[in-house]
Chain A
Amino acid sequence: MTAQILSIPGSSKSRFRTGGVSAGGLAIPALIALGVFFVYPITLIVWLSFTSPEIGFGHYLSLLTDGVTVTVMLRTIAVGLIVGLATLIIGYPYAYSMTVVSPGWRTVMMTMVMLPFWVNIIARTFAWFILESRGGLIDQFFQALGINGVVLLNTWGGVAIAMTQVMLPFMVLPLYTQMSTIDRGLLRAAGSLGAKPVASFARIYMPLSLSGVMSGFSLVFVVALGFYITPALLGSPDQALLSQIIATRVQKLLDFPGAGAAGMLLLVVTLIILGVLNWLVRQANPLMKRGAA
């Protein structure tokens, strides 16, 4: 978008470039920093995972056959899907409302989403630590109902619940961004042609919002797979998620090649699942295939 706006006065653009320092030169400091402190480290551990101590897929094979990593991986994917689905169900009506309410209310609703987004993740996880621990509010609530011992701390379910709350902004923001581009005139047109509100919502609005759903779901899913603080504080070693395994390998064993291999595995599986989801949605929704949405 930036480039588009700047390139509208076509002739002035080239003069702008010759008038200043050449464009590439300004980017050099940031590129060097990014190369040294980001690209190189990531490349190094990926490289190590294939070459240290010997060249080959040894680390990957041992991860797939050690009997633990695959279980942990499946649990991590399950938590990612659950959190993605839960945030979608909770966030969809909220994001929809944001496109309909008055500008004042929209600001309030937006601020409510943005504030937790920026509040320290440890502070937010600490709040769930209090809520989920033995004798915490959740335990007290269920005791009042006559159900004892609902202690979510140290279970992956407790981790999933906290992560759902923590990631809600990641779902609402892309959903809202996409939904605000949907032409509501289409709904009125459907209504004037005799469609009931529920029918026009289900047959017109929902398919049009599907690309927003996909980007929200993908974002939450990807971030959830790599989440570390919440599982580390609320989970337990025997119900660990993959990020905990990666961290433990490094902190306890300094096993960088193994950690790199686990990280790569995580990345590959993530991409495969996202690809499949994307394909399924495109199959189900002809609107997206044509790029109309």
Chain B
Amino acid sequence: MTVKHNSVSLRARRQPNLPIWLRAWNVVVMALLILPVLIVIPMSFSDARNFSFPPKGFSLRWYENFFTSAKWTDSLFTSLQVGILTAVLATVLGTLAAVSIARMSPKFSGFLSGLYMAPMIVPGVIFAVAIYAVFLRWQLVGSLFGFVAAHTMLALPFVITSVSSSLSGYNPGLTTAASSLGAGPVRAFLTVTLPLILPGVVSGFVLAFVTSFDESVVSLFLQTPNLETLPVNMYNAIATEIDPTVSAAATLVILVTTILVVLVQVVPGRNKRK
């Protein structure tokens, strides 16, 4: 009772705590975070052949161009393909790794989680150069497998983090119960553990897909004219071709990632509160 009373009075005191200049500052920061992203959207409906802002005229020509040019649709298809394969691979590897970390003694698990997080910490350009050097030798540059393998390394940390946080709320006694009732380890995992940690696995899958779908640095090195991902195509459109189709592509990408990320933030949150 006292706790409840306390938090209510706290909250009542909290609101006027924020001075007006701080509120104004926060609004400015939110604008700074969001507006430069949104500027791309009106650009994509421009009628002009250049990147001038504010856009002149209104047309859907860049969207038409995006969906009718083989170069753009091929790269979109490649990105979707690489993204889905990466998400599947990273989710399987990452879920197994997260389960093993949860069962280990803290000494080992600390070392292993550090190792799994390493691809997130090493500067992107160093990893890109390193994997390019190796893939040149193995002739994997410009191959679907090469893209998937490299992206999986970058996606693994997200899967492991998200599955681990689900596992932290899992009671291992349930697995013991299942096996004492005669379920084998695989069956116990699939029928007891997996359904309970599914929110973490699903959000790991989505985040792995988004990581691959957005990945640019490694892909810039692994690209060949025959196999480009969408971000690589966008990069080239800005850097060398000045092709306004990139604004339509950017708008589509922003839309897709926003929907996926909002889904991830909303769905597991509900499950956790049960």
Q: Do A and B share a complex? A: yes
Main secondary structure of the interface of B (DSSP, over half): helix
Q: Which residue of B lies closest to A7 (CB)?
A: B106
Contact of B25 among A94, A232, A256 (CB under 8 A): A94
Number of interface residues of B (CB under 8 A): 97
Write 7 A-B pairs (CB below 8 A) sorted by A numbering.
A2-B101, A16-B173, A23-B104, A123-B250, A165-B33, A168-B32, A226-B124
Whether A119 lies near B39 (C-beta < 8 A) is: no
Chain A proximity of B91: nearest CB distance (Å): 11
Chain B proximity of A289: nearest CB distance (Å): 24
Nearest 8 Cβ contacts at the A-B interface? A226-B123, A41-B130, A123-B250, A26-B100, A23-B103, A16-B172, A30-B97, A27-B100
Q: Which residue of B lies closest to A188 (CB)?
A: B13
Chain A, interface residues (CB within 8 Å), range: 35 or more
Whether B250 lies near A42 (C-beta < 8 A) is: no
Whether A48 lies near B37 (C-beta < 8 A) is: no
- A contact residues around B231 at 8 Å (CB): 120, 122
Complexed CA–CA distance, A24 and B40 (Å): 47
Interface residues of A (CB under 8 A from B): 1-7, 9, 12-13, 15-17, 19-21, 23-27, 29-31, 33-34, 37-38, 40-42, 44-45, 48, 90-91, 93-94, 96-97, 100-102, 109, 111-116, 118-131, 133, 135-137, 165, 168-169, 222-223, 225-229, 232-233, 243, 246-247, 250-251, 256, 259-260, 263, 266-267
Whether A226 lies near B168 (C-beta < 8 A) is: no
Contact of B130 among A44, A118, A127, A247 (CB under 8 A): A44
B132 near A: Cβ within 8 Å? yes
Q: Which residue of B lies closest to A98 (CB)?
A: B26
B198 near A: Cβ within 8 Å? no
Whether B30 lies near A112 (C-beta < 8 A) is: yes
Contact of B175 among A20, A48, A90 (CB under 8 A): A20
Of A23, A102, A225, most buried by chain B (CB within 10 Å of CB) is A23
